[in-house]
Amino acid sequence: MVAITRSILLAGVLLSVAACASPPHQTETATQLVSAPVCPDALPSHPAAGPASPMVPGTPAAAVVCHYGPQQPNLIKSAQVSDVKGLQSALNSADTAPPPRGVMCPMDDGRTDLVIFAYADGGPVDVTVKPTGCATATNGTAKAYRLTGAVLNKL
């Protein structure tokens, strides 16, 4: 009886060692880790121009929103975007028709947000958002007007 117990125990140990020694299962698609973007200390005066359409292309892996003050364009705070795909979709479906001439934009307090989208396979795409007044967004080329809560609530 003792010999059977030792044999079972030894078999269990050998199976455990063999399982640990085998390479881990790998999927066919490699997952690339993307570091979260870092906000610049000051709002860039001339952000890089993005594509004409869509405003946020491809599949961004991460995004950060950088909040800058109205009088001095210095970084106030930053936060990781929790719903990157949702913000991308909201920006890409925002109204691109310019407002009619003569439209006033009251309540513009001068704040600016910079959203930096990071990609596993390329450089970032920056989107500048003016969250007050007429609430606009641009990637330097594409523009969106009259942003709604679909965008603003994700910042």
Q: Give me the residue spans of the domains in the chain.
A: 34-152
| Widest Cα–Cα separation across the chain | 96
| Tokens linked to 143 | 């523009």
How would you write the pLDDT of the chain (155 residues) with one tens digit per residue? Answer: 444 434 443 344 333 333 334 333 322 334 457 788 999 999 988 778 999 999 999 999 999 999 999 877 899 999 999 999 999 999 999 999 998 888 888 888 989 999 999 999 888 999 999 999 999 999 999 999 999 999 999 99
Name the residue among 154, 142, 155 with its Cα closest to residue 95. Answer: 142
Give the number of other Cβ atoms within 10 Å of residue 105's Cβ: 14
